[in-house]
Structure 1
Amino acid sequence: MNRIDRLTAILIQLQGKKIVKAAEIADRFNISLRTVYRDVKALQEAGVPIGAEAGTGYYIVDGYHLPPVMFSKEEAAALLTGEKLMERFSDHSNRKQFGLAMEKIRSVLRGSEKDYLESLEENIAVISNGIPTEEEGFPNKFMSDIQQALGLHQVISMEYFSFQEEVATRREVEPIGIFHSANKWHLIAWCRLRQGYRDFRIDRIRKLSVTSTYYKKDNRLSLQEYLKQKKQHSPDDPILIKISLDKDLMRYVRDQKYYFGLMDETVKGDRVELTFLQPYLNQMARWLTMFGSRVDILEPESLRQVMRDHIADLQNHYL
């Protein structure tokens, strides 16, 4: 990248955040801190009002804005790919907002870039792996509201359906972050009812409103701190599990297979092979017991031994 392009990119980076550290700029462009200082000085001499806070970073004075940014065709294609992913992995509210943003982006593209995007659009697809994205009875439209509450540190009031307890409860929570895992979005929040951090599946929220009550962010863990603690407290690492069962049993398996970490499903004649990533062998063994002799554990051997122990316990109990 030549220096003119780098200066423009640095200016865009500065406009994109409230404060940008010199080390962030150096890492992004693989340049030395000395070069960063020279580049920032060059921008200041060109009339860009860049301020600096000792030990913090650089910022652009309020009121200064770049003229409308033009996207390259490669950048536009990356955004189109993001739109396809949003259609598959986000909820109604986020899809709508991202669609509106893409309309604005398309409006500033040159004619050649628009033609390029149109030719790509029909040739990019995100294929479903069979995991249901939505469940009937749940609106699945609260992502934008949750993001607002996260950004402004507002308390959320919601009606949440607990799968384990099979009951809906009213909760007031202080959100600390969201993450996507196993094809579901999760809200991590401090629950005022339970007085602790809880993991809420967003697709199980029936009603939600952002209250006018604010909470102190510094009183709560960050999402990264929470996830780090959760990882440290995890009793086991995920284990690769493969089983084979009669094809006609699949109607009984239904969504249960996803709760056990389904990774792959392959039909082989009148049998189906399922692959899971699951740390809890005891839970898996208890689930497989319901299928009796019509299921075979292909691997690991440790799960076969857990199954033997489980069956022996049952036999001793009933004899």
Structure 2
Amino acid sequence: MNRTDRLLAIVLELQSRRTVRAEELAAKFETSIRTIYRDMQALSEADVPIVGAPGQGYSLMEGYFLPPLSFTASEAVALLLGAEFVQTKLEPNYEVHAKSSRAKIEAVLPEHERSEAERVRATMRLLPGRQAETSGRERTNLEILRQAMLEKRKISFRYVKPGQDEREENTRTAAPYGMVHVQGNWMLVAACDLRRQIRHFRVSRMSGLEMTPSIYELPAGFKFEDYTPADDRGLEVTLLAEHNIAGRIKESGCYYIEEFKEQPEGLWIRLRVRRIEEIFSWVLGWGANVTVLEPESLCWRIREEAEKLLKRY
């Protein structure tokens, strides 16, 4: 990295953080602390309002921002697609900001880059993954959750577990730590008061969500970006699928699938789950094209369901 690029990167680093120490910058840009001191002097001489506090580090004067940057067509496409994702997947408040961001990015692009970006974007589409009614509730929930996390307030909600009768939903109170978008679904990571541990909740299954007056604090040393949930899927399930649906099963993206094996009699599949209910509907949906090998309890559940269907029809 040459000096010009490093100076720009230092300003961007200062814009994204409150205070940065010279040692941190030296390690990040793989240079000496003395070089960082000289860089700070150069930025100050270029009228960048840098504030240095002995023993604390450097920061930018509040309100300072870089002037508009130039983007390549590929960079513009990445930003515009990101804004489109935010517009379709986050709450209404961010939808408004995403629209204005897209307009600003398009406005500052030179004609050539804007035309090229539009040609690339015309070949890509982000389609909603669920019905409008469910999506509407989920996006409303996201807005409440984000506000609760900003204010560090606990939430209460009614929740239905996978495979549970919707009439059996239970009420939970939890401290929201963060959200993850995985396989088209928003998942809330929260400390559940009922279970007294960190649990995961699908946002689309939450109803009656509201913030409570109770304030919470994150556990000492907890960083959401470093959080890795324990894998407690202790129940192994094995299936045998007909060759004619092997491709569709591989493309299904089922989270619980661990392994595939092509065999003469069909596609052998190994899954790991916490409870049979988590994959019961998925297995049943393949009909007679899939045979359950293990466990026997799942075989009995499939038989019982087949008998109920036979009586009904």
| TM-score for both structures, normalised by structure 2 | 0.67
Q: Give the drift of 1:60.
A: 1.1
Gaps of 5+ in 1: 266-270, 298-303, 313-319
* Partner SS, residue 117 of structure 1: helix
User: Does 2:35 match 1:35?
Assistant: yes
- Cα distance in 1 for partners of 2:26, 2:298 equals 57
User: Does 2:183 match 1:182?
Assistant: yes
The superposition leaves residues 35-81 of structure 1 with CA deviations (integer Å, 9 ceiling, x where unpaired) of 33321232123332323455654211224333344434342122123
User: Does 2:241 match 1:244?
Assistant: yes
Corresponding residue number in structure 1 for 2:192: 191
User: Does 2:68 match 1:75?
Assistant: no
Corresponding residue number in structure 2 for 1:315: none
Aligned pairs for 1:194-273 (under 5 A) are 194-211=195-212, 213-218=214-219, 221-224=222-225, 227-228=227-228, 230-231=229-230, 234=232, 243-245=240-242, 261=256
Gaps of 5+ in 2: 301-313
Corresponding residue number in structure 1 for 2:308: none
Task: State the percentage of identical aligned residues.
Answer: 26
The superposition leaves residues 61-117 of structure 1 with CA deviations (integer Å, 9 ceiling, x where unpaired) of 2243333444343421221232455467x2453555433322232233333332232
- Cα distance in 2 for partners of 1:57, 1:274 equals 58
**Taking structure 1 as reference, are residues 291 and 281 closer, same or farther at Cα in structure 2, changes over 3 Å only?**
farther
Q: Give the drift of 1:243.
A: 3.3
- Cα distance in 1 for partners of 2:76, 2:287 equals 53
Corresponding residue number in structure 2 for 1:154: 153
Corresponding residue number in structure 1 for 2:272: 279
**Maintained 8 Å contact 1:246/1:295:** no
- Cα distance in 1 for partners of 2:81, 2:103 equals 14
* Partner SS, residue 62 of structure 1: coil
Aligned-partner residue type, residue 49 of structure 2: P
- Cα distance in 2 for partners of 1:282, 1:160 equals 17
Corresponding residue number in structure 2 for 1:98: 98
Aligned-partner residue type, residue 140 of structure 1: E
The superposition leaves residues 226-265 of structure 1 with CA deviations (integer Å, 9 ceiling, x where unpaired) of x43x33x6466x98966314979xxxx9xxx877636999
**Taking structure 1 as reference, are residues 9 and 92 closer, same or farther at Cα in structure 2, changes over 3 Å only?**
same
**Maintained 8 Å contact 1:177/1:222:** no
Provide the alpha-carbon RMSD of the alignment. Answer: 4.6
* Partner SS, residue 169 of structure 2: strand
Aligned-partner residue type, residue 202 of structure 2: R
Q: Give the drift of 1:187.
A: 0.6
**Taking structure 1 as reference, are residues 73 and 55 closer, same or farther at Cα in structure 2, changes over 3 Å only?**
farther
Aligned-partner residue type, residue 162 of structure 1: K
Q: Give the drift of 1:10.
A: 1.7
| TM-score for both structures, normalised by structure 1 | 0.66
**Maintained 8 Å contact 2:276/2:298:** no
**Maintained 8 Å contact 1:244/1:272:** yes
